[in-house]
Structure 1
Amino acid sequence: MNLVIVESPGKIKKIQSFLGASFRVMASVGHVRDLPEKEIGVEPPDFRPHYVPTDRGKDVLAKLASAAKDAEAVYLATDPDREGEAIAWHLEDALRLKGAKRITYTEITDTAVKAALGNARSVDRDLVAAQEGRRVLDRLVGYMVSPVLSRQVGERFSAGRVQSPAVRLVVDRERAIRNFRVTVHYGVELTFEAAEHITDGWKAAWLPKRGWLAEGEEYILDKAIAAQVAAVSALEVSDCQESESKAAPPAPFVTSTLQQAASAALKINPKRTMELAQKLYEAGHITYMRTDSPNLSEEAVAAIRSWAGQHDYPLPAKPRAWKSKAGAQEAHEAIRPTHIEVEEAGETEEEKALYRMIRLRAIASQLSDAVFAVRVVTLTGTVDGKQAVVFEARGRALIEPGWKALTAKDETDEDDEEPENQVPQVEPGRQLSPQAATVLTKKTKPPARYTEAALIKELEHRGIGRPSTYAAILDNITGRGYLQLEKRQLVPTAKGEKVVDSLVDYFAFLDYEFTRQMEEDLDRIAEGQVQYLAVVSAAHSQLDQELGQFVVKTSPKCPDCGKPLRHMVKADSKDKKGYNFWSCSGYPDCPATFADAGGVPGDRQEKKALEPSGFDCPKCGKPLIRRTGTSKAGKPYDFFGCSGFKAGCKASFDVKEDGTPDFEKAEKKKQS
């Protein structure tokens, strides 16, 4: 019997049906080990992670160990990405497997799975190191910065290597919107009478940059000037240009564009999109959904072109190939149907809608360009017989639909459509008089708030995060209350703005370029160009230095010794009382403490002087002090203690009914 270990239980039945009785397919159910929850789990100088089984992983590992013991061969068939490679290594290490075979496939079909078995390899330790680097860097930022940040600001906050820059993007955009000042400006639109087949007339817009704006000016701010231009009564056609424009189809979906398109066209958020895509993948309907390569396999392209030809869709002479973005991980192809001829797949309406979108996008990517006839007419005239004025009429018409015959609109490029303003063919030199003139009042618009789709696009553009992380980033920053959705737009909360302001001037991981460079370093680890230890130790050293500077620069100073004060905060719990005060970091040399006054140090907390009781300690002769109060556990106490306890005398005595020390009871205890 051969054992095949996959990640998801949803794949077991399908793959088992391909392999038959000589194979047993089991699932790791994702990660079986991780860093510990209540400690950082990684320390200098070697930064070797301390892994522990997850709660679910304990039982999974026990079952897999039992099955592996009797297996002739063990195949690690976890997902074909860094995360999957890391899970394969964890299984190999935790189960102490000797000679385990690593196999990958990007579609769950009989052909692909059996081909993978014939191309087994060992676990790629460079890919594992890259995933480990990401996990450890995230842990260092979270565990080193978050507690210090919370203590300094007096509020529970978390910092994240990638989540914090994502929050910053939204905060920066929101502040740009708040600070935006609307500029009212003016334009002119002329309407000419119907011509040829254009029944509603055609329009031309004034080009004020042609002689009406001084250098550095962008808009006409004087309405009277626009009204003066609108009074133009005669114009001459100075040019009529005929041309064609082509619109290439969009590339097949990668992870980020799938999330963007599903958000824009289907109103499905990124996290849900990935859940639906996972189900389609596990059912064998689509290829692997975590990828940033926009290209398809040769076999897939051939199948699409064959299907398109059979259904009379236009094809270019050569198959299309797409340029990947910088840093793309091209281990496997773009997202596509496993069988292009299958028009509908999925169990739910959401799954079916997502599948249709993936299928149409894959087919469209190989079809011919859409071709438009473009006509631009330039008209010139004079205002009051003096100053020249130029108008332009621009229009286009679809003459060859190409890929648009299959899908009329690219879901992700919503702002790329030109108006279908049809313009007649007019000969240069022809004299025209406008039928109507309209002065247009225009207002500049602030930048738009990010939608989830737009934020993913921006993160990808800046090189922050990777395909497998986008949905988790959004889920994290909204779940922690740093951002909220309002009419499908992301808006920072007061908490989100505060966490950004608290970090941005002190830590490099808030810098967009630094974060992009760190992602590139992780890619270089995956490619074997740099070592895990070099990247992680350098990041830790910088972070440690920044933390020290952060504490010094953000802490109030102790009036007694000048050292930073620390905000000591702990909430009440069932068994322990909470506290909220400021303490000198020089303790115990400097014991100064101060009450909290709304997040800043308040009045000094003076310790109540303990006066001698009039009785001396029979052990050392120093004065006894009567101590009364309530312990942290809530229990009252009342006893006499020696004032020389710091010098080593621990003598204490109960209080008798008359309020004196019970020396006799203490002596009896000593003798017994």
Structure 2
Amino acid sequence: MKKLLLVESPSKCKTIQAILGSEWQVEASFGHFTELAKDGEDSLGFTMHKDTNKIECRYQLTEGKGQQVVSKLRAAVKNASEVVLATDGDREGEGIAWHLQQQLHLRNPKRAVYNQITPTAVKAAIANAHQLDLNLISAQRARQCLDRLIGFKVSPLVRRTSGGSSAGRVQSVALHIVCQREREINAFVPITYWSVWTEYAEGFTAFYAGSSEIEPVLDDQDVTDDAAEVNAESTVESKRVLSEAEAARIIQVARNHPHVVREATGVTAQKSPLPPFITSSLQQAASVRLGLSPEETMKVAQELFEGVDLPNGRKGLITYHRTDSTSLAPEFCAEVKEWLSKHDPDNVPKKTTRHREQANAQSAHEAIRPTYLSITPKTVRDHLSAKQHQLYELIWRRAVASQCANALIQKSRVIIQAGSTLWQTRGSILTFAGYTRYWNDLSKDKHIPALTSGQTLALANAGFTQKQTQPPARYSEAKLVQVLERQGVGRPSTFAAIVKTLKDRTYVLLKGKVLEPSALGMSTDDVLHKTFPDLLRADFTAGMETTLDEISVGKLEWQSYLIGWHQSYFQPMLARAYTNLGADLQPSDRKNELSDVACPACNHPLSKIPSKKVSGGHFLKCEHGCENLVMFWSDRRNQWEIPQPKGENAVTAEVTSFACPVCGKPLAKFPYTKDGVDKVMLKCADVQARQRKDHADVVFFWSSQEKWWSKKFGDLDEAAKPNLGKASTSKEKKTTQGKLKRSSSKVAKPSPKKLS
């Protein structure tokens, strides 16, 4: 019998299988394969028992892949002599490992954690396998319940007021940051001013600096910003002059007096190399230098981590890419030093720069770096996609640069006096490249001639330029990630998902390189600011992350914390919010209670229509213009469904958020059986339309490429949405893509497996 290693991603299997050989079988869970059910109070999927301080979580397999994955892995476990869980070594990875233990009925499984997919790292992880980390599992479960609690309790309020689709513990803070910047821009009142300058025959320009002593200026060359534009020209201006008459007076003084060098100083400054990449800095640099979104960056980094096929075998090219630590393994640092000694001996530092960790860094993994320094970007160019090669080169160069010598910069400042006015110019010249040979983050050189104190200069020209103060800039994706990181909002694994969620919900729009809040985003933020102001405070959300960190190391018990937080804080806040917005939530002419289930056509919440003839005492109906759209609860399928007429397609159909390519109405799922296997196809949800000849070929099947495919229409475009009112996206409303769960019911429904 073979030994069995279980990982998250199927792309890793081939790389790790090649490392471990025929004695092992490597299988994947395909990431999260379980989720909290959508049942119980407000479809939370868990119940808080205040008397015992326990939380009863009800998990179910994810729709589609969940049952398939578990069935395959159970069969593999039966034929295995040993099972090792090797999911990712973070909070979510530990949670997935725990669910594998539960679903596969494993007793005391071994847990292996590695930071890179290399023979040494993988074999060492297996040799030093340990037990599951129950504290880390508790933190993951707490995170999951906390996000479900906030999202499912607050989102209905957002849907009923602003028309937004959701709210969340982290996404709402990110949205507020973008919206607050937009309000600052709208409230900005520009001020007109004049920048005054002089030009000299010696070949340089100086700027007015006042008529008294000049204050020291912070040298921005010493400040590193991965979210800043590369080689951006720094704007040099004079001291601001607030009237044209004053600017003209200063120019007159300059023209009527000799210009004498009052001070000419020069100093050689050192600039230390930047630290190697962490998740956030990689996303920022890739956005600015490569034009990749945070989501694209993480996707490509995942591919590099999992492994690519090279002439000498499949190899993982980078270490784990979800990290907040800037530390590097000592053996890698030694490898870089040896490489520099051979290829660039001048860049071997006498003392390597030590990079500080962030205050809230978890440091579970080392920084992002190449797994094999000898695999240079040049040697793998022909074996990587364009994006893979670009990102790999970025990571390789940054890691090497972090271990190089300091750059040396000759900096100079000249102060000139003309009558009662002072003028200043500054210059900088790179005299030793150091780390910048691999990672250039310096502005272009600015040369000024060698001048001496007391030297008289020849004035060639003098003038002024009218300018206006500018409003604060909108955030780019890179800048937003930077702000979230600095304010402690989210974790390395979530930054890309946060930005993507805001775009998917159409809360923000990407215009050029910047994020602009939509009208929907602004109104949603307004509602949340009025009802849940704490939810929008970065320090409030950052405090929750700190709490989850304390749970992960055993300092807090997660169930008592969450129950206490809900009772003492969240529940009273919810009550106040619904009281304050009572009139908006339930208009006087509305007689029916609103459900938490969104209409699959227009996205508005469906109303509960009382009826003694149906299960649970009510059915759902859209009262927002979607004619005759009703849904009934199916006890057999445990979901809300649109009824279908008897005859052809007599089965009930689950409506999706995909659009029919012919009429634009929603597609629905219809079960069928092929070769004894139960499968699902997509057809138009409109019964009458399905009878027409133009709909004869509107049939989509699930392909081996994991896409919906039609012989006539090809792959189904996930961006195509139904045209009936305001349709939800497949990510926005899982209630339309997957099962539409009952939010509350008087009739007990079969529940998923209970795990406390």
Q: TM-score, normalised by structure 1?
A: 0.79
Deviation of residue 274 (structure 1)? 0.8
Structure-1 separation of matches of 2:55 and 2:278: 34
Would the aligned equivalents of 1:165 and 1:509 in 2 still touch at CA under 8 Å? Answer: yes
Partner in structure 2 of residue 622 of structure 1: none
Structure-1 separation of matches of 2:494 and 2:501: 10
Partner residue of 1:334 out of 367, 374, 377: 367
1:319 aligns with 2:321: no
Deviation of residue 424 (structure 1)? 2.3
For 1:223-262, list aligned pairs within 5 A: 223-231=244-252, 232=254, 233-262=257-286
Unmatched 5+ residue regions in structure 2? 216-238, 308-315, 611-622, 626-641, 644-756
1:28 aligns with 2:29: yes
Partner in structure 1 of residue 565 of structure 2: 539
Deviation of residue 548 (structure 1)? 0.5
Deviation of residue 47 (structure 1)? 2.5
Would the aligned equivalents of 1:229 and 1:389 in 2 still touch at CA under 8 Å? Answer: yes
Structure-2 separation of matches of 1:175 and 1:356: 39
Moved over 6 A (4+): 557-560, 564-567, 569-574, 577-583
Deviations 1:395-415 (A, max 9, x none): 1111111111223x23xxxxx
Deviation of residue 306 (structure 1)? 0.9
Deviation of residue 532 (structure 1)? 0.9
For 1:556-567, list aligned pairs within 5 A: 556=583
Would the aligned equivalents of 2:196 and 2:247 in 1 still touch at CA under 8 Å? Answer: yes
Partner residue of 1:489 out of 491, 508, 514: 514
Partner in structure 2 of residue 591 of structure 1: none
Partner residue of 2:204 out of 202, 205, 214: 202
Deviations 1:156-211 (A, max 9, x none): 531111001101111111111111111111121111113xxxxxx01111113737
> Residues 364 and 556 (structure 1 numbering): CA distance in 2 closer, same or farther, change over 3 Å?
same
Unmatched 5+ residue regions in structure 1? 195-200, 383-387, 411-416, 584-595, 599-631, 634-672
Structure-1 separation of matches of 2:16 and 2:584: 65
For 1:156-171, list aligned pairs within 5 A: 156-171=164-179
Amino acid at match of 2:350: A
Structure-2 separation of matches of 1:357 and 1:154: 42
> Residues 219 and 20 (structure 1 numbering): CA distance in 2 closer, same or farther, change over 3 Å?
same
For 1:373-452, list aligned pairs within 5 A: 373-382=410-419, 388-407=420-439, 409-410=440-441, 417-418=442-443, 420-452=445-477
Would the aligned equivalents of 1:315 and 1:367 in 2 still touch at CA under 8 Å? Answer: yes
Partner in structure 2 of residue 282 of structure 1: 306
Structure-1 separation of matches of 2:118 and 2:162: 55
> Residues 74 and 549 (structure 1 numbering): CA distance in 2 closer, same or farther, change over 3 Å?
same
Amino acid at match of 2:258: A
Q: Which moved more, 1:128-137 or 1:289-298?
A: 128-137
Instruction: Say which one has the larger Rg.
Output: 1
1:41 aligns with 2:67: no
Partner in structure 2 of residue 611 of structure 1: none
Task: Indicate the RMSD between aligned Cα atoms, in angstroms.
Answer: 3.1
Deviations 1:480-515 (A, max 9, x none): 111111112101111101111001133222111101
Identical counterparts, % of pairs: 36
Q: Which moved more, 1:548-557 or 1:517-526?
A: 548-557
Would the aligned equivalents of 1:556 and 1:565 in 2 still touch at CA under 8 Å? Answer: no
1:293 aligns with 2:318: no
Partner in structure 2 of residue 18 of structure 1: 19
Structure-1 separation of matches of 2:330 and 2:586: 73
Partner SS, residue 514 of structure 1: helix
Deviation of residue 321 (structure 1)? 2.5
Partner in structure 2 of residue 362 of structure 1: 399
Deviations 1:283-327 (A, max 9, x none): 111111111111110011111111111112512112332111111
Aligned length: 564
Deviation of residue 538 (structure 1)? 3.4
> Residues 439 and 110 (structure 1 numbering): CA distance in 2 closer, same or farther, change over 3 Å?
same
Deviation of residue 370 (structure 1)? 1.0
Partner SS, residue 191 of structure 1: strand
Structure-1 separation of matches of 2:607 and 2:165: 16
Partner residue of 1:521 out of 543, 547, 554: 547
Deviations 1:548-568 (A, max 9, x none): 0011112239999x9x99985
Amino acid at match of 1:4: L
Structure-1 separation of matches of 2:59 and 2:47: 12
Structure-2 separation of matches of 1:559 and 1:273: 44
Deviation of residue 96 (structure 1)? 1.6
Partner SS, residue 44 of structure 1: strand
Deviations 1:505-535 (A, max 9, x none): 3322211110111111111111222121243
Partner SS, residue 583 of structure 2: coil
Deviation of residue 155 (structure 1)? 2.9
> Residues 321 and 565 (structure 1 numbering): CA distance in 2 closer, same or farther, change over 3 Å?
farther
Partner SS, residue 143 of structure 1: helix
Structure-2 separation of matches of 1:206 and 1:303: 51
